[in-house]
Amino acid sequence: MGTPGRRARAIAVSALAAVLEGREVVVCAGPGGVGKTTSAAAIGLAMAARGRRVAVLTIDPARRLADSLGLEEIGGEERRVDP
C-alpha cells in the first residue's frame, strides 16, 4: 500500500490531473514569493509522470526553476527532464 505520505501524494496528483484534464496551457501567476515556480515545476513533473507532454517555461533570471527541477542550470535551449 505504501506510506500515508505516498498515498496522500498519489491522491493529490490524481486530483490535480482531473482538474487539468484537457487543458493545454496552465499559467502560474501572482506576486513574488507565493510559490509560482515551485508550483509550475511540481505540476509539470506530476503531469509528465502521468504521460503528458509538458513544457515548463520561466522568464525569471534566478535559478529557482532549475533548483525545483533538480538541474544544475537552465540555458536558452530545450532540455528533457525525466519525471
Return the domain boundaries, the chain: 4-69
pLDDT digits (tens, 9 = 90+) for 15-46: 888 888 888 888 989 998 899 999 899 888 88
Q: How confident is the prediction for the chain on average, in pLDDT?
A: 84
Helix count (H) and strand count (E) of the chain? 3, 0
58 within 8 A of 30, measured Cβ to Cβ: no
